[in-house]
Structures are given as structure tokens and as C-alpha cells.
């Protein structure tokens, strides 16, 4: 069994923020906008004017924290009480996840995603990642209806701080490095083959265009390299995340990320930065020879991911590393298909090994 859980439509286009109302109009005459505070500042007026031109009424809910189940439930209730016929998400990953969840719980309303950064594939992925009030990962909310539109304005992304695009590149890179260890010499399941194909597509784009895209982002220029890199971060990585089959495959780096979210020391890190450190730990678990780790570590260095606790600027990191190791959750069915150990002792040893990385 293979299931592909994908959005109904995806469009990246310079200036599309000013046309969002045209895409919403066939779907809803009243919407709830879920938005981050910064996103409202940089894109809220343009979005509002676009909706008003089409005669679409809207209410605005400002998201101030993580995507929690309580927040999703409260906003879904607000959407229902206001008579919203759709949900528009405007912002980063937490907003994208919240908007999807609100649409789902409010009666599978159409969701129109307008990401203002390319830092994850959250606009696309077929679930909402949930956190607790303290910012710790708590699970996910599966969706039965996927976004009606993902509208990516490349001018808005180009104007965002380059740190977000670096984190997005790392998060998308992770798909290849997390899925590829599951390959079997006896042949791969069709689902894994698709995941690897989409992941490889993203990797190929990054190899040819990522560094130029980052420079273009710094200069706030929309170029072919930037457009291709944005597509790889959101769409190609999203496609890899959209494939479902019977097999249990978990990304080791994302499992480490999930544990890191329960540590206050990492709450100011972006999702991709935590995933990047998780990839560095995975490289130690996977490759005994440091030379074999370099293809991945080279990418992480170029994206300026903190690879050793010495870069964290905190005190003795060993208790923190022990806490991360203890909190990593990988199902036994996934462990048995990995060619390297991921038990707590091995994880703690690999985490401690980052203390000595130069």
C-alpha cells in the first residue's frame, strides 16, 4: 500500500501575496487568518487588501507561540463561531501547522497557506506537528483534507533573514540523509523509493543552487537559484514527507530534534538548526570513519549549524546531552531496519562525541 497525501495546488510566484484573494474567492467568502506577529507586520496589509478586493470578509488570530492542540482547538472553535468558510495561514512553520489543524478541526475547511519564510516544509506536510505549552514536541495531528493552495511569494521569501533559508535547506537535506540508511541490498519498498527520489531531487537542487540562493537572499533578489531552492525546501521535501506505506521509518535526526525541544537551552534554535545538530549526531552513529561523515558535515558547516556544545555558549553540557539521549523515541520496528545502533547508550556516546568535534 502506498498513499500520497499532497496539497491540492502549489504555486510559487513573485507578487502572489497581492493576489491571494483571487485564489480564496472560489473557496470561501469569509476566512480566519492565522498569522504570526512578524508576518502580519511584513505581509498583513497586502493580504488584507487582496481579500478586500475580492469582497472576502476575514478575522485575524495572532499566533504567539508554538502549535499546541489547545491552540488549534480554540481557533477551530473561533472559526466555527465566526462562520469562517476557510482558513488562511500567514507566517512560518508554527503558523502553517496551526492553520492546517484549525481547518481540520473546524470541519475540514479549505486551508490556503501563505508562508513568509522557507524554513521548513510545514506548509505542505500532511499533518500538523504539535507541541506542549513549554515548547516540547508532543505528537502530530493527521489531516484528512490537505491544503487547497500553497501560495509562495518569492519576493517575500527573498526579504526574510537568510537564517531561515539556511534552516530550511538543512531540514530538506535531512530527508535524504534520514531515508537513505533504510535502503536494502535486496531492493527497496516502492514507498521508500519514492521518498528517496524526492529527497534526491532536493539534494540536486542544493548542490547546484543553494549557495547562490543564500547570496541572493542576502541581497533580497529573486533569482532562478532562489526560486529553485525555495521549491526544493517546501515542495520537494514536502513530497518526500507525503509518501506513506506500511513500513515504520523515522528520521533519526528529527527524533533527536524532538528530544531537544524539551530542553529550554534550544528553544531559540530554529527547527532546521536542531535537525542539523541531529544530523551531525546521526553521522557519528552511522560512520565509524570520520572521513565518511564529511559529505554531510560539510553541508552543515556551510549552513552554519552549531555542531558542538562549545558553540552553544552554556555551562557543562554533559547533563544536557544525557537528557537529549534519554528523550529520543524511535520505535523498535524502525530501529531494526537501520544499519547502525540508536539505543540510548549509543545515542549518548554519539552526543558526547560532539564535545570533541573541531
For 171-185, write each residue's pLDDT tens digit: 999 999 999 998 877
Please state the residue numbers annotated as binding site for glycerol: 171, 254, 271
Band of residue 357 on the pLDDT scale cut at 50, 70, 90: low
Contacts of 323 (CB under 8 A, 6+ apart): 259, 262, 263
Is 165 buried (19+), middle (13-18) or exposed (0-12) by CB count in 10 A? buried
> Model's pTM, two decimal places?
0.96
Report, as an integer, the average pLDDT of 34-54.
98
The C-alpha cell that represents 266 in the structure block: 534550544
Is 264 buried (19+), middle (13-18) or exposed (0-12) by CB count in 10 A? exposed
Does residue 229 surpass a pLDDT of 50?
yes
Top pLDDT among 317 and 158 is at 158
User: What integer pLDDT is reported at residue 310 of this predicted model?
Assistant: 78
- pLDDT tens, position by position, 78-105: 999 999 999 999 999 999 999 999 999 9
Report, as an integer, the average pLDDT of 299-313.
89
Report, as an integer, the average pLDDT of 35-58.
98
Please state the residue numbers annotated as binding site for NAD(+): 93-97, 125, 131
- H runs (alpha helix) in the chain: 20-24, 37-39, 45-53, 69-82, 93-105, 154-159, 162-179, 190-218, 224-231, 237-242, 252-260, 271-286, 290-302, 318-327, 332-335, 344-353
Average pLDDT, the chain: 95
The CATH number, out of the four listed (3.20.10.10, 3.40.50.1970, 3.30.1370.10, 3.30.530.20), of the domain defined by the range 3-158: 3.40.50.1970
User: What integer pLDDT is reported at residue 356 of this predicted model?
Assistant: 81
User: What integer pLDDT is reported at residue 187 of this predicted model?
Assistant: 60
Please state the residue numbers annotated as binding site: 93-97, 125, 131, 171, 254, 271
> Is residue 338 within 8 Å of 183, Cβ to Cβ?
no
Band of residue 358 on the pLDDT scale cut at 50, 70, 90: very low
Q: Rounded to an integer, what distance in angstroms lies between the CA atom of residue 256 and that of residue 239?
A: 22
Any idea how long the chain is?
Answer: 358
Instruction: Say whether 248-358 and 3-158 share the same fold.
Output: no
Sequence spans of domains, the chain: 3-158, 248-358
With pLDDT > 90 as the criterion, what percentage of the chain qualifies? 87
Report, as an integer, the average pLDDT of 331-349.
90
User: What integer pLDDT is reported at residue 340 of this predicted model?
Assistant: 93
User: What integer pLDDT is reported at residue 321 of this predicted model?
Assistant: 94
Report, as an integer, the average pLDDT of 204-215.
98
Helix, strand or coil, per DSSP, at residue 86: strand
Name the DSSP class of 289: S
Q: What CATH topology corresponds to 248-358?
A: Dehydroquinate synthase-like, alpha domain (1.20.1090)
Does residue 55 surpass a pLDDT of 70?
yes
User: What integer pLDDT is reported at residue 83 of this predicted model?
Assistant: 98
Choose the weakest-confidence range: 71-75, 102-106, 117-121, 178-182: 178-182
β-sheet with 149-152: strand ranges across:
10-12, 149-152, 111-115, 86-91, 30-36, 57-63
Does residue 38 surpass a pLDDT of 80?
yes
User: What integer pLDDT is reported at residue 117 of this predicted model?
Assistant: 99
Does residue 123 surpass a pLDDT of 80?
yes
> Is residue 103 within 8 Å of 87, Cβ to Cβ?
yes
Report, as an integer, the average pLDDT of 226-251.
92
Amino acid at each position: 500500500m502506498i498513499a500520497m497525501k499532497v496539497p491540492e495546488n502549489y504555486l510559487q510566484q513573485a507578487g502572489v501575496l497581492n493576489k491571494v484573494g483571487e485564489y480564496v474567492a472560489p473557496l470561501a467568502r469569509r476566512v480566519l487568518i492565522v498569522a504570526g506577529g512578524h508576518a502580519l507586520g511584513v505581509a498583513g496589509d497586502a493580504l488584507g487588501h487582496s481579500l478586500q478586493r475580492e469582497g472576502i470578509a476575514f478575522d485575524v488570530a495572532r499566533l504567539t507561540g508554538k502549535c499546541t492542540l489547545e491552540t488549534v482547538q480554540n481557533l477551530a472553535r473561533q472559526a466555527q463561531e465566526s462562520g469562517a468558510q476557510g482558513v488562511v495561514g500567514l507566517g512560518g512553520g508554527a503558523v502553517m501547522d496551526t492553520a492546517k489543524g484549525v481547518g481540520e478541526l473546524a470541519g475540514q475547511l479549505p486551508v490556503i497557506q501563505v508562508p513568509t519564510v522557507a524554513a521548513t516544509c510545514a506548509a505542505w506536510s500532511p499533518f500538523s506537528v504539535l507541541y506542549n505549552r513549554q515548547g516540547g514536541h508532543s505528537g502530530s495531528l493527521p489531516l484528512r483534507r490537505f491544503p487547497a493552495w500553497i501560495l509562495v511569494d518569492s519576493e517575500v521569501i527573498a526579504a526574510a533573514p537568510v537564517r531561515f533559508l539556511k534552516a530550511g535547506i538543512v531540514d530538506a537535506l535531512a530527508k535524504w540523509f534520514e531515508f537513505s540508511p533504510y535502503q536494502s541490498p535486496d531492493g527497496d519498498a516502492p514507498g521508500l523509493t519514492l521518498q528517496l527520489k524526492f529527497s534526491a531531487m532536493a539534494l540536486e537542487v542544493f548542490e547546484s543552487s543553494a549557495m547562490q540562493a543564500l547570496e541572493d537572499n542576502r541581497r533580497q533578489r529573486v533569482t532562478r537559484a532562489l526560486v529553485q531552492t525555495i521549491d526544493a525546501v517546501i515542495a520537494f521535501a514536502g513530497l518526500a514527507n507525503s509518501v506513506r506505506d506500511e513500513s515504520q521509518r523515522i528520521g533519526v535526526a528529527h527524533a533527536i530534534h524532538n528530544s531537544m525541544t524539551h530542553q529550554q537551552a534550544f528553544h531559540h534554535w530554529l527547527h532546521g538548526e536542531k535537525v542539523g545538530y541531529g544530523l551531525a549526531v546521526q553521522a557519528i552513529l552511522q560512520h565509524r570513519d570520520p572521513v565518511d561523515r564529511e559529505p554531510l558535515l560539510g553541508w552543515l558547516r556551510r549552513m552554519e549549524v552549531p555542531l558542538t556544545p562549545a558553540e552553544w555558549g552554556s555551562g557543562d553540557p554533559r547533563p544536557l546531552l544525557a537528557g537529549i539521549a534519554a528523550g529520543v523515541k524511535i520505535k523498535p520496528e524502525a530501529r531494526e531496519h537501520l544499519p547502525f545502533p540508536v539505543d540510548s547508550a549509543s545515542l549518548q556516546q554519539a552526543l558526547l562525541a560532539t564535545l570533541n568535534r573541531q
